[in-house]
Structure formats: C-alpha cells, structure tokens
Chain A
Amino acid sequence: GNSVTQMEGPVTLSEEAFLTINCTYTATGYPSLFWYVQYPGEGLQLLLKATKADDKGSNKGFEATYRKETTSFHLEKGSVQVSDSAVYFCALSVVSGAGSYQLTFGKGTKLSVIP
C-alpha cells in the first residue's frame, strides 16, 4: 500500500537553528510529494512540492528533495524563526481504485521555535 512516515514530534528548536524533519514513503508508481504546514487554528497550506525524482521543492527558505533511491523527502530550513512554529505534514498523491488522485498524509510533526 501507499504510506508516509515522518518523524514524530514535538520538535523544539531555538531561533536560527537548523531544521530537518524526516519523511519517507512507500508507494506504487511515481507519486508526487508535498509538504503542507498548518498554523494553530488554521487550515493546511501547501509549503512545497516535487513531482519527480531529484526535483527540489523550495519556498520561504524551506527545501526538500525527492530522493527515489531512498524513498525520502526530508524537509530542511537553514535558520528557523518563531513564526515557523506549526505542524508540518508530509504527503504523497496516489491514485485510488476509482481513478481519482488523492493525498495520503503522514502523522504530522509539531515544530516549536523558541526565541
């Protein structure tokens, strides 16, 4: 089956620290990969995406590279800010039996950045 495994949180970092959130996946075929972010009390926002092997998605200082050989899509940021405190979800798109694509999410990783 298709699944996403991401590191369990919570992760607590000091401001300006380096961030890595690990994400690995199992999928048939060639999924697209996504990172979504959810700020407290809000919906999900697409942070970045990659659609094929070796693609690098980037946005707002965050980066993730689609690694087919290790089935991974780790999220990184060189210097986190307090405003990055949120829950981060790794996801992949898979086609269902009905022929519709849908997202499969990891369990989420809560990040807290302290001043």
Chain B
Amino acid sequence: DTEVTQTPKHLVMGMTNKKSLKCEQHMGHRAMYWYKQKAKKPPELMFVYSYEKLSINESVPSRFSPECPNSSLLNLHLHALQPEDSALYLCASSQGSGAGLFTEAFFGQGTRLTVV
C-alpha cells in the first residue's frame, strides 16, 4: 500500500471560516509534508514533520496551522484565509527526512481549496 489519502477532495470556504484538511498514510513513514500548488506551477513546500515534530516551516503565514496528531495523520488547520490562498494543497510522506532515509516521497491526490 503506497497510498496517501487526503480529505476532502474539494473545499470552498469563506474568508471568516475555519476548516481543516486531513492527510493519512499507513506506510509507516515518519516524515510528512504539506505543499501548496498554484495552477501551472510546481508544488511549493510549506511544512515538514519528522517523527511527529515540526522540522521545517517555510515562512508560511500563521493562518495556516499544521498538526501531526500521530505518525499516520497530518492536519492543516485553516483560518481567515484570503482568496489568493486558493490552490491545490498536497500532502506527501516519505520513509524519513534524514540522510539515508529519504528515498522518495509519495503524494496524495490533493485538496482543491477555493476561498471566496
């Protein structure tokens, strides 16, 4: 099983709403990632979790709040977003993020977020 599952697939939210994106993997991977992808652009890294601890935050605005409740789950809490935050949000996982452990990353199908 090389599957990373993201829910929901589509989300429309107002600028005053609070919502959460969810990501799950059962491959025993200890590193999980959030990426943001705008149309016709490559994915941009937002956050890296390694062994359930946040190891990288790529200067992401605080209206995006990641959470890693356990080694299989990764959430992204959204609050007071702006229309320019509309994008495809991708979750990924890898065996690890350290030397000798990062061999490849597996991506989910993404959540298409529209902020109105």
| Given contact pairs A99-B55, A102-B33, A108-B40, a sample of 20 additional A-B residue pairs in the complex whose CB atoms are under 8 Å apart | A32-B102, A34-B104, A36-B107, A43-B6, A43-B88, A43-B108, A45-B107, A46-B105, A51-B103, A93-B102, A99-B98, A100-B48, A100-B55, A100-B98, A101-B94, A101-B101, A102-B45, A102-B48, A102-B97, A107-B41
Query: Interface residues of A: mostly helix, strand, loop or mixed?
Result: strand
B76 at the interface (CB under 8 A from A): no
By a beta-carbon cutoff of 8 Å, the part of chain B in contact with chain A is 4, 6, 31, 33, 40-43, 45, 48, 50, 55-56, 88, 90, 92, 94, 97-99, 101-110
Taking a contact as CB atoms under 8 Å apart, the answer to whether B97 and A101 are in contact is yes
By a beta-carbon cutoff of 8 Å, the part of chain A in contact with chain B is 32, 34, 36, 42-46, 49, 51, 89, 93, 95-96, 98-103, 105-108
Taking a contact as CB atoms under 8 Å apart, the answer to whether A100 and B56 are in contact is yes
Which of A32, A100, A103, A108 has most B Cβ within 10 Å? A100
Taking a contact as CB atoms under 8 Å apart, the answer to whether B107 and A49 are in contact is no
CA gap between A93 and B88 in the complex, in Å: 22
- Given A98-B56, A107-B41, decide whether A42 and B103 contact each other with a Cβ distance below 8 A: no
CA gap between A99 and B94 in the complex, in Å: 15
Minimum CB distance partner of A51 in chain B? B103
**Cβ-neighbour of A44 out of B41, B43, B50, B56 (below 8 A):** B43
